[in-house]
Chain A
Amino acid sequence: MNTNLYNYLLGIADNSLILGQRLGELCGHGPSLETDIALTNISLDLFGQVRSYYQYAAKVVGDNRDEDTIAMMRPEREYVSVLLVEQPNTDFGYVIARQFLFDVYHYMFLTELQSSKDETLAAIAKKSIKEVSYHVRFSSDWIKRLGDGTEESHKRIQNAINDLWTYTDELFHQTEADKEMINEGVGVDTSKLKEQYYKHVSEVLNEATLVVPDLKYFQKGGKQGVHTEHMGYILAELQYMQRAYPNMSW
């Protein structure tokens, strides 16, 4: 089996799986009916996308593991999602800040992935990018509304941006599998996206009258499977059904 490709696929899919799960927690708990539906729509978009990646990963491993086993049955240390996506839904500001900081990266990443030498990956990217364009639009709009809104909304979204900023650098870290895949023309060289990412994010924050945090030290670990204390709880909920009723189906 192509271990590098398998790990590379998990690196992409796990981000969307964990973020999708976080957004799913908001089902019935969104601040208004309209935002509730919007956020859970985004969650479903992400779950749809990860299915394609995990199905492909199952093909790559070529044993008895299927998309569900790969998505649901790994121990925490084997999830390689970035720390950003597992951060909690502290308030609507955090939900939007986390979404925005991820969406901008996600959009840029998929744009490049469309020209991957791996045809399956290129096809998934092409299909997903339409959904993700809307995600960026939704979260960027909300950043501006909250930042340039009331005193309270400005304070909260600025807090959330300040707190989550420390997780942004990890988006651009590269694992061994990432480097191998980049060399083969399959993976996206994220180091080339970093400057553009911070430039774009800063522009939106400025437009939202928000301050771009000035930070020298960043958190990392998720890509190596070393997660924050939040991850265990997410997985407990995510994996409960598969673990309680192995091989269940609807």
Chain B
Amino acid sequence: MKKEWPLWEVFVRSKNGLEHRHFGSLHAADAEMALENARDVYTRRNEGVSIWVVESKNITASNPEHNAELFEPAQDKVYRHPTFYDLPDEIKHM
């Protein structure tokens, strides 16, 4: 293929009530084809109930070079995690 189809990111909701999760990416000529391809590539083993596709170029990503200023300041601020409460035993999944 001389001209590659554009790249698309695929998000699949695996069960009703859960959020869409990034599954991977694929090539397709347009959105409709991207949906069909996503159905074939990512949901053939019954993985999903809903698919979103978005062309990869529409995603703005943070620059890994800026990781230090973006994320490291949060590392020594444990008090931002709500871990200083005593939870009753009855509450599960916290």
Contact = CB atoms under 8 A, between A and B. Distances in A.
Nearest to B41: A37
A64 interface: no
**Number of chain B interface residues as a range:** 10 to 19
Interface stretch (A17-25, A27-35, A157-165, A237-245): A27-35
B29 A145 contact: yes
Nearest to A34: B37
B36 A32 contact: no
Contacts of B36: 38, 137-138, 141
B32 A34 contact: no
B29 A34 contact: no
Interface in B31-68: 32-33, 36-37, 39-41, 44
Contacts of B28: 34
Interface string B20-31: 000000111100
Contact of B26 (A31, A33, A41): A33
Interface of A: 31-35, 37-38, 41, 134, 137-138, 141, 145
Given A34-B27, A37-B41, 8 more contacts: A32-B1, A34-B26, A34-B28, A34-B37, A37-B44, A134-B39, A137-B36, A141-B33
Interface of B: 1, 5, 26-29, 32-33, 36-37, 39-41, 44
